[in-house]
Amino acid sequence: MARKMLVDGVLDKVGEETKQYDFDLFVIGAGSGGVRASRTSAAFGAKVAICELPFHPISSEVIGGVGGTCVIRGCVPKKILVYGSEFRGEFEDSRNFGWEIDGKINFNWKKLLHNKTQEITRLNGIYMRLLSNAGVTMIEGEGKLIDAHTVEITEPDGTTKKHSAKHILIATGSRAQRANIPGKELAITSDEALSLEELPKRVVILGAGYIALEFASIWQGMGAEVDVFYRKELPLRGFDDEMRAVVAKNLEGRGIRLHPGTNLTELRKSEDGISVLTDHGDEFTADVVLFATGRVPNTKRLNLQSVGVELDNAGAIKVDEYSCTSVPNIWAVGDVTNRMNLTPVALMEGTCFSKTVFGGQPTKPDYADIPCAVFCLPPLSIVGLSEQQALEQAKNDILVYTSSFNPMKNTISGRQEKTVMKLVVDSETDKVLGASMCGPDAPEIMQGIAVALKCGATKAQFDSTVGIHPSAAEEFVTMRTLTRRVAAGTKPKTNL
Ligand code: NDP
């Protein structure tokens, strides 16, 4: 039914029929997607309510707070800790630039933690004000569906209230999942890692995705010994294989111990911390064991299936291209749909939802050429296709251009760490299909490259762009020598 309305371009007329409902839109979950959808829907004239659990900046038991995972226990606090850990490298590099640091440099974890918590609290306040300034009704409590038009809220004191709405949007995000290993309760997830009371001296990390590598860099930068265990040959499955190898080399170069092809088999409490046993028969002792083994959609306590909202095998809400669920007036955006689990993608989905339902402009989120970054040190950032993805999709041969160089700063500091950049180009159309960079400032640089790819830039257009000198970024427009040509139909190596 919703689909028919959309195809005909006959959209919801804001205000019409609202009389019989308390709200035009009720949003469950005030994270990135939910807040964006609420505000943009209200701007189109919809009467909007949003519910969220109370904010707790430290507790890992309360999964709530306006701002959601990104602001409260994800991107923002993580980036603050990354900034904190970057100083280690800066102090090391400063010596050959003439800086003389006498005596021991101390790092005060509690001070950083306090400042981080203050900043998160400030942002939480800003998000609350954004909602109230937009005219959105904020309701504190946990929401669940009673029927297709009714949400029941359990407030913090246990009382329940029902609210009706013409449309319901589910934006409840995801939560960390623990690998099922004996002793897993001794491990922490990223929720707790952001608020540890003491800085650990010895850390074991399981997994080699975004969170694992980011925390490995954070803790190593702050002086801990870090061991990362993962099942594959290289970290960051799904990224360009060549860049994965560069990341691994750089992390090891900074002192992080990588253990590819290794699983943990058991965690045990020991006198000296936590004993970590591996399937290679080794035993390690750690103060903290982090499980960074992926996240699962928050769908369990919403009563979704009983109102007909279908889930996939991973427990994510199934949606169509407009974010509509199997129930025509119930919609879902963000990690709870497990499409591309990134904050800016949830924001895009939230905006498209409002345009579609309340703005008179049916709009599908566009998942092409979405850039992203892993904030390990140095960071990796990518946009478009990896070499392997390009080969899987290729009709034509693929041209690969790579540049591996010693950044100018390293020539003086003496740091032995290469920056690597890569362009993957279609040999017939000359279109740049993918770009990646591992090196300082990669995420800042790749945002601009993403605009170029979104505009369909060709390699010739990259080449005709004048560089900014001296910078690392200029390498992207000076890669003249072909590294290799890979024939269409070549099978990419698998199981790395
Ligand atoms: P990822 O999916 O990125 O990585 C999960 C890692 O855990 C993989 O290395 C995986 O190994 C491993 N793993 C999964 N299950 C097991 C198991 N049972 N035993 C051993 N290893 C296991 O998840 P993250 O938790 O790092 O991050 C979750 C999501 O959050 C990301 O996908 C991303 O969407 C988002 N995120 C984005 C960030 C950013 O944009 N900078 C930062 C942080 C998170 P294998 O490859 O072998 O399956």
CATH code, 417: 3.30.390.30
Q: Which residue's alpha carbon is at the smallest distance from atom 42 of ligand 1?
A: 210
Interval between CA 190 and ligand 1 midpoint (Å)? 11
Strand partners for 150: 147, 164
> What distance in Å separates the CA atoms of residue 439 and residue 441, rounded to the nearest whole number?
6
Of ligand 1's listed atoms, the one at least distance from the Cα of 177 is 25
Domain containing 323 — which CATH number?
3.50.50.60
Interval between CA 350 and ligand 1 midpoint (Å)? 24
Domain range for 251: 184-292
- Buried b or exposed e, range 189-215, using 16+ CB within 10 angstroms: bbbbbbbeeebbebbbbbbbbbbbbbb
> What distance in Å separates the CA atoms of residue 1 and residue 4, rounded to the nearest whole number?
5
Establish if 460 belongs to a structural domain: yes
Q: Which residue's alpha carbon is at the smallest distance from atom 23 of ligand 1?
A: 294
Establish if 496 belongs to a structural domain: no
Mean pLDDT value across residues 187-212: 96
pLDDT digit string (tens) for 51-78? Answer: 999 887 666 565 789 999 999 999 999 9
User: Which residue from 316, 310, 324 is spatially nearest to 340, judged by alpha carbons?
Assistant: 316
Identify the pLDDT of residue 328: 97
User: Residue by residue, what is the 3-state secondary structure of the chain?
Assistant: CHHHHHHCCCCCCCCCCHHHCCEEEEEECCCHHHHHHHHHHHHCCCCEEEEECCCCCCCCCCCCCCCHHHHHHCHHHHHHHHHHHHHHHHHHHHHHHCCCCCCCCCCCHHHHHHHHHHHHHHHHHHHHHHHHHCCCEEEECEEEEEECCEEEEECCCCCEEEEEEEEEEECCCEEECCCCCCCHHHCECHHHHCCCCCCCCEEEEECCCHHHHHHHHHHHHCCCEEEEECCCCCCCCCCCHHHHHHHHHHHHHCCCEEECCCCEEEEEEECCEEEEEECCCCEEEECEEEECCCEEECCHHHCCHHHCCCECCCCCECCCCCCECCCCCEEECHHHHCCCCCHHHHHHHHHHHHHHHCCCCCCCCCCCCCCEEECCCCCEEEEECCHHHHHHHCCCCEEEEEEEECCHHHHHHCCCCCEEEEEEEECCCCEEEEEEEECCCHHHHHHHHHHHHHCCCEHHHHHCCCCCCCCCHHHHHCCCCCCEEECCCCCCCCCC
Domain match, 25 and 99 both:
yes
Q: Which residue's alpha carbon is at the smallest distance from atom 34 of ligand 1?
A: 341
Mean pLDDT value across residues 322-346: 98
Domain match, 36 and 108 both:
yes
Domain match, 94 and 112 both:
yes
Q: Which two tokens stand for residue 98?
A: 């003439």
pLDDT digit string (tens) for 362-379? Answer: 999 999 999 999 999 999
Last residue in a domain, options 236, 271, 292:
292
- Best of 76, 192, 210, 370 to mutate for ligand 1, by most ligand atoms within 8 A of CB? 210
Of ligand 1's listed atoms, the one at least distance from the Cα of 238 is 46
C-beta separation of 180 from 267 below 8 A: no
CB atoms within 10 A of CB 398: 22
- Best of 295, 339, 380 to mutate for ligand 1, by most ligand atoms within 8 A of CB? 295
Q: Which residue's alpha carbon is at the smallest distance from atom 3 of ligand 1?
A: 209
pTM: 0.95
Of ligand 1's listed atoms, the one at least distance from the Cα of 372 is 40
Identify the pLDDT of residue 5: 43
Q: Which residue's alpha carbon is at the smallest distance from atom 20 of ligand 1?
A: 207
Mean pLDDT value across residues 234-254: 98
Mean pLDDT value across residues 482-486: 96
Of ligand 1's listed atoms, the one at least distance from the Cα of 340 is 34
Mean pLDDT value across residues 348-356: 98
Establish if 365 belongs to a structural domain: no
Domain match, 12 and 88 both:
yes
- Best of 32, 194, 211 to mutate for ligand 1, by most ligand atoms within 8 A of CB? 211
Confidence of residue 31 (pLDDT cuts 50, 70, 90): very high
Active site residue 114: no
Domain match, 24 and 123 both:
yes
Domain match, 224 and 313 both:
no
Mean pLDDT value across residues 254-263: 98
Identify the pLDDT of residue 19: 60
Q: Which residue's alpha carbon is at the smallest distance from atom 17 of ligand 1?
A: 179
Confidence of residue 326 (pLDDT cuts 50, 70, 90): very high
Establish if 100 belongs to a structural domain: yes
Domain match, 134 and 150 both:
yes
Identify the pLDDT of residue 495: 62
Could you give the number of structural domains in the chain? Answer: 3
Percent of the chain with pLDDT over 90: 91
> What distance in Å separates the CA atoms of residue 266 and residue 24, rounded to the nearest whole number?
51
pLDDT digit string (tens) for 438-461? Answer: 999 999 999 999 999 999 999 999
Q: Which two tokens stand for residue 266?
A: 């058991």
Interval between CA 237 and ligand 1 midpoint (Å)? 9
Residue 313 CA: distances (Å) to CA of 198, 297, 310, 316, 338: 38, 11, 10, 7, 11
Interval between CA 286 and ligand 1 midpoint (Å)? 21
> What distance in Å separates the CA atoms of residue 115 and residue 113, rounded to the nearest whole number?
6
Q: Which two tokens stand for residue 319?
A: 């949606």
Confidence of residue 394 (pLDDT cuts 50, 70, 90): confident
Establish if 362 belongs to a structural domain: no
> What distance in Å separates the CA atoms of residue 424 and residue 488, rounded to the nearest whole number?
13
Domain match, 190 and 261 both:
yes
> What distance in Å separates the CA atoms of residue 224 and residue 202, rounded to the nearest whole number?
6
Establish if 367 belongs to a structural domain: no
Mean pLDDT value across residues 25-31: 98
User: What residue type is assigned to position 370 of the chain?
Assistant: I
Asked whether the predicted pLDDT for residue 323 surpasses 90, the reply is yes
Domain match, 242 and 334 both:
no
Q: Which residue's alpha carbon is at the smallest distance from atom 19 of ligand 1?
A: 179
Interval between CA 194 and ligand 1 midpoint (Å)? 17
Asked whether the predicted pLDDT for residue 420 surpasses 90, the reply is yes
Interval between CA 74 and ligand 1 midpoint (Å)? 13
Residue among 149, 167, 280, 469 flagged as catalytic: 469
Last residue in a domain, options 272, 292, 312:
292
Interval between CA 291 and ligand 1 midpoint (Å)? 9
- Best of 205, 231, 276 to mutate for ligand 1, by most ligand atoms within 8 A of CB? 231
> Exposed, middle or buried: residue 299 (CB in 10 Å: 0-12, 13-18, 19+)?
buried
Interval between CA 386 and ligand 1 midpoint (Å)? 18
- pLDDT, the chain, mean: 94
**Residues at CB less than 6 angstroms from ligand 1:** 179, 206-212, 214, 230-232, 237, 263, 292-295, 341-342, 372-375
Identify the pLDDT of residue 1: 37
Last residue in a domain, options 246, 264, 292:
292
Q: Which residue's alpha carbon is at the smallest distance from atom 4 of ligand 1?
A: 209
Interval between CA 3 and ligand 1 midpoint (Å)? 34
> What distance in Å separates the CA atoms of residue 472 and residue 191, rounded to the nearest whole number?
35
Identify the pLDDT of residue 194: 94
Establish if 491 belongs to a structural domain: no
Domain match, 115 and 196 both:
no
Domain match, 110 and 136 both:
yes
Establish if 364 belongs to a structural domain: no
Of ligand 1's listed atoms, the one at least distance from the Cα of 210 is 26
pLDDT digit string (tens) for 128-181? Answer: 999 999 999 999 999 999 999 999 999 999 999 999 999 999 999 999 999 999
Domain match, 16 and 128 both:
yes
Identify the pLDDT of residue 492: 78
